[in-house]
Amino acid sequence: MAVYPDCEKCRQLKDELNESQKALMSCRPDVGSYKSISRWPKPWREQRDRLENANNLARAKYEVHLGGDHQDPSYQQELGRNALIILRGGRLTP
């Protein structure tokens, strides 16, 4: 991902993206042994879904900023898709 060090909004969005990725990766119930996500307790699955949506939303906002404000050609192709993700609140599908 491109970074524009002099852009405050880039730094803020990138920090939000990093925090949401860290939260998603650290979300795991303490059940003693490995269990697939489908076998997690329901509150943990719901929490993971919320964290995943927050991560998708943070990534979409960052990529829209890069493609729109900075005219980065590698992100301009996905502006429509990322705008839909933002409108859906982080959900990838309707």
53 contacts 85 by C-beta, under 8 angstroms: no
Q: Provide the angle, in degrees to the nearest 10, between the axes of the packed helices 79-87 and 42-68.
A: 140
Residue 69, pLDDT > 70, answer yes
Q: Is residue 1 very low, low, confident or very high in pLDDT (cuts 50, 70, 90)?
A: low
Q: Does residue 3 register a pLDDT over 70? A: no
Residue range 28-55, pLDDT digits in tens: 877 667 778 888 889 989 999 999 999 9
| Cα–Cα distance, 10 to 32 (Å, whole number) | 40
CA distance 25 to 64: 23
For residue 17, the Cα-to-chain-centroid distance in whole angstroms is 6
**pTM of the prediction?**
0.86
